[in-house]
A = this chain, B = another copy of it.
Amino acid sequence: MTTLLNQQPRYLQLAQTLINEIQAGKYGIGDLLPTEYDLCEQFGASRFTVREAVKRLVQMGLVDRQAGVGTRVRAQQAVSGYQQVMQQLGDLQQYTADTELDIVSRQTIEIDESLCGLLRATPGETWLRIEALRRSGDSPYPICVSEIYIHPAFRTIENVGSATHAPIYTLIERQFGEQITEVQQEIRAVNVTSAQARQLNVKARSAALWICRHYINRRGEVVEVAISTHPAERFSYSEKFQRDWRPV
């Protein structure tokens, strides 16, 4: 009893069958799945194979098991989908090591109503604003223009754009002992402004990738906001997601 048809291992086929049946409602939430012995008979497989299959369902959070009781359905859909494979937060800057940050301007500004939405701040706070161009050794043209806002508590930050190539949020962590626990990122397509077009050496109103990152501490406060505008042909953003149940 073997087959060329499906190249997937047997236990994954069984797992998929059970997943489908759970999603189809054949077993409702709280119900017991058939016992391992039953499944062995149903599928004509050994207990090892059946257990490997059910392990997948456990890892997906669809069922839980208890010795002496059985396998109980806990959810119809996998609780979590995909996980970003990132070793370091710094992978968000996909080029940090190879590039330099040219500071164009650095000044403190008082927040007005047009900015308080973006920074989630209240008007009147005095933040640090840094404008910069990111360059790579290879090309004469900047990769992007960046607009960085830093919370008043950290506006004395030093060594921004130094030779260290370190992302700014790591400087804040190191110089002030603040810990970034969350990063929110939004990506849009935009047309560059004429000022940006001059800085970047592209045509006015050409397409660009706009990336805005909010760096947030453990109390939920915005510590830094960085907006980067990348000319379309000079940058693309790549990421990789993997199913977060273990591949064994």
Give me the interface of A with B, judged by CB distance under 8 Å.
Answer: 6-8, 12-13, 16-17, 20, 23, 55, 58-59, 79-89, 91-92, 173-174, 177-191, 206-210, 218-219, 230-232, 235-244, 246-248
Contact = CB atoms under 8 A, between A and B. Distances in A.
Given A82-B88, A186-B238, A237-B187, A180 B246 contact: no
A87 to B, nearest CB: 7
B236 A187 contact: yes
A183 to B, nearest CB: 5
Contacts of A231: 189
A187 B189 CA distance: 10
Contacts of A12: 177, 179, 218
Given A8-B178, A240-B185, A87 B91 contact: no
Contact of A181 (B80, B178, B188, B243): B243
A231 B191 CA distance: 11
A6 to B, nearest CB: 6
B16 A173 contact: yes
Given A59-B246, A179-B16, A87 B92 contact: no
With most chain B CB atoms within 10 A of its CB, the pick from A173, A189, A237 is A189
With most chain B CB atoms within 10 A of its CB, the pick from A12, A83, A230 is A83
Nearest to A65: B248
A122 to B, nearest CB: 18
B82 A185 contact: no
Given A179-B243, A185-B241, 8 more contacts: A182-B242, A182-B243, A183-B242, A187-B187, A189-B208, A189-B210, A190-B207, A218-B247
